[in-house]
Amino acid sequence: MARAGGELTARELEIIRLVAWNNKGIAAILGIKPHTVKNMLTQINRKLLGSPGRSGRKTRPRLLWVALCRGLVEVDEVSFGPIRF
């Protein structure tokens, strides 16, 4: 299991930049399957938040906030797609 604060892969960083989109949208943009997106969001959740929990509507903004605060992504790199809170 990944530790909190573990390094994110290049693909995980791409997903963080698209986290405002739903899994199908992220999958279409990156050319991967929605299930792969779901699994990767779980890994990102473990790495950034130290939690194996689900990456739902409440967790996605937190993942993005942590990534921005840690300087892992810049706000101008983030695609604010059709997010619904």
Q: Using one digit for the tens of pLDDT, what is the confidence trace for 18-55?
A: 988 999 999 999 999 999 999 999 999 989 888 765 55
Question: In terms of residue numbers, what domain contains 42?
Answer: 10-77
pTM: 0.79
CA–CA distance, 75 with 84 (Å, rounded to integer): 19
Residue-level pLDDT at 1: 34
Has residue 71 been placed in a domain?
Answer: yes
Has residue 24 been placed in a domain?
Answer: yes
Has residue 85 been placed in a domain?
Answer: no
Has residue 5 been placed in a domain?
Answer: no
CA–CA distance, 54 with 21 (Å, rounded to integer): 16
**Which position has the token pair 């797609």?**
81
Where would I find the H helices in 1-85?
A: 10-17, 23-30, 34-49, 59-69
Has residue 34 been placed in a domain?
Answer: yes
Give the CATH number for residue 55: 1.10.10
Has residue 44 been placed in a domain?
Answer: yes
